[in-house]
Every structure is written in C-alpha cells, then in structure tokens.
Amino acid sequence: MIVRGNGANGSVATTPNSLSFSVAQAARLTGCTSSQLRHWARSGLVQPTADDGRYNFRDLVALRVVRSLLDAGLPSVRVRVAIETLRRIGEDDLARLRLVTDGTRVWSCTDDGQILDALAHGQLALFVAIDRVAADVDAEVQRFDAERAAFVDDLVSSVELRVGRRTTESG
C-alpha cells in the first residue's frame, strides 16, 4: 500500500487548519469510531492538536492515514511504530509523504525510485494517495459545514416563526 501526499507541491485541501472538530465530528469525517479516536488520543498515536483540545485538519488526515494502514492489514502495533518513527525523524505532516506498506513493513518515500525498489523485492503494494485522502476529508468537512449551516438556518427560521406568531397573537 502506498499512502502519499503531494510532497513539495503542498496539499490540495481548501479546509483551513484553523477549524477544529470534536471527537464525534472527527469520527464522522474520518470513518473511525469515537472510541478509536479516544483510545488513539490516550495512547498518543494521534492526539487532537487544536488549541481547544479538538482535532484540526492535519489531525483528520493523520486519522485517515492510520485507518488506511489498518484497513490494508497492517497490525496496529506496526502502525504505531511507523507513526512514531515518522514523528521521531520529523515527518509528522503525513500529507507531505508517501508511505509504502506490504502489510508487514512501512517505508517512507521521498521519490518514486524508492517505491520501485520496494516492488523489486517482490513486495505486494496497494496504492492510496494521501492527497486524495486529504481531498476526501476536505470534501467531507465542506459537506459537514454546509449541513451545519443549513441546520442553524432552519433552527433560526423556526424560532423567528414562533416568535412572530407569539407577537401577532399577543398584539
């Protein structure tokens, strides 16, 4: 499995990193469960990094990457080691990397030549692009924000309608 970002080109996401999301919202946006997110936060795998203790966009991308690695069959212990190793070498912005896994090991790649080397050793690799993951998360956030705005508009309209009726009835 290759999980990759845009590398030097930067992220294609339009969601500002200043937005923050609750555990429930992050779970919905990443396809993880709330209990997974709480467990991963307690264990330090992926902790919310927004100032208010909520998840920001980069956190959502990291959560999706962890989920993708687990879905590819990588054991959670190896996912943890891979993420910790990337952090240790200063590569914690997953949207800027390409990761390769054969379901047992994970390689961090900075160019396509390294991917070819992994395949030359007979390793089966599945490809998942982090920039696509980031774009998917961005689209989910945009839909979520539109749904939230519509809900608030409906709620405000409903309250205004009720207040208007009361004013008309009492007048």
Torsion-angle region of 53 (φ positive above 0: left; ψ -120 to 50: alpha; else: beta): left
- Kindly report, residue by residue over 53-84, the tens digit of the pLDDT: 899 988 898 898 889 888 888 888 878 877 77
3/129 Cα distance (integer angstroms): 5
Which of 91-95, 117-121, 152-156, 158-162 is predicted least confidently? 117-121
List residues bridging with 3 in a β-sheet.
99, 128
68/95 Cα distance (integer angstroms): 13
- Strand, coil or helix: 40: helix
Percent of the chain beyond pLDDT 90?
A: 30
Q: Is a pLDDT exceeding 80 seen at residue 19?
A: yes
Provide the residue count of the chain.
171
Say what the pLDDT of residue 152 is.
93
Q: Is a pLDDT exceeding 70 seen at residue 5?
A: no
Q: Which fold has domain 2-170?
A: Multidrug-efflux Transporter Regulator; Chain: A; Domain 2 (1.10.1660)
Domain residue spans in the chain? 2-170
With cut-offs at 50, 70 and 90, classify the pLDDT of residue 14. Answer: low
Residues whose CB is less than 8 angstroms from the CB of residue 124 and which lie 6 or more positions away in sequence, other chains included:
102, 103
Q: What's the mean pLDDT in 110-129?
A: 43
What's the whole-model pTM score? 0.60
By CB atoms closer than 10 A (0-12, 13-18, 19+), residue 31 is middle
Q: Is a pLDDT exceeding 50 seen at residue 125?
A: no
